[in-house]
Amino acid sequence: MALYYRDDAVQVTSESIQAGGHAVRIADVTYVWHARGRTTLAVRGRVLGRGVLVLLLSLPPLVALVCVVSLAWSAQDRGNWALALLVLAACAVGALALVPFLEVPLGWLDRSYERGSRVHELWVQHHGREEMLLRTPDALRFGQIYRAVQRAVEQHGEYR
């Protein structure tokens, strides 16, 4: 028996698919497909959170740009370029010192895109019936499970 995928709720082997309390033998599966499910509140919240995070990450550079332009404008009026360049250099060094701290929010943003913005459903046809085995908003996990089911069905078809 070959194990194609396993986590706490789903197990795909060369003999069966077990998901959500259902167990389907691979030998009984005639067709596998996926569909988009209705969007859940969690998925909408993830998309909204992604937008807020992008806004928060883009706001400090925009504020810094406004400050640099206003500093250059006021230095031009006063003719005091030395002080303006000193303040600008201090701000640039401060910004470069803060760059490593962007790792955490950018990681959150990256993971939110990996998880996707839709609900995915895994369907199989067996014994003439269509049955939904899995419904998840996690696109990365769904892709791994779907590919595992495809491999299991393909491998079983080669040995028939």
Residues 45 and 110 in one domain: yes
Residues 140 and 103 in one domain: no
Residue of higher predicted confidence among 7 and 45:
7
Nearest-10 Cα torsion for 96, 97, 103, 106: -50
Residues 126 and 83 in one domain: no
Q: What is the mean pLDDT of the chain?
A: 80
What pLDDT band is residue 114 in, cutting at 50, 70 and 90? low
Nearest-10 Cα torsion for 142, 148, 154, 156: -130
Residues 64 and 108 in one domain: yes
Range of the domain at 57: 41-115
Residues 29 and 93 in one domain: no
Residues 67 and 50 in one domain: yes
In this prediction, residues 80-106 reach a mean pLDDT of: 76
Question: Across 4-8, 51-55, 84-88, 108-112, which has the greatest mean pLDDT?
Answer: 4-8
Residues 28 and 84 in one domain: no
Residues 103 and 62 in one domain: yes
Residues 102 and 48 in one domain: yes
> Could you tell me which residues are beta bridge partners of residue 35?
121
Tokens at 131, concatenated = 């049955």
What is the pLDDT at residue 44? 65
> What total of structural domains would you count in the chain?
2
> pTM for the full model?
0.61
Residues 45 and 111 in one domain: yes
Residues 58 and 88 in one domain: yes
Residue 133 has pLDDT above 60, yes or no: yes
The per-residue pLDDT for range 24-82, each reduced to its tens digit, is 999 988 888 988 877 666 666 766 777 777 767 777 777 777 777 777 777 666 666 77
What is the pLDDT at residue 11? 93
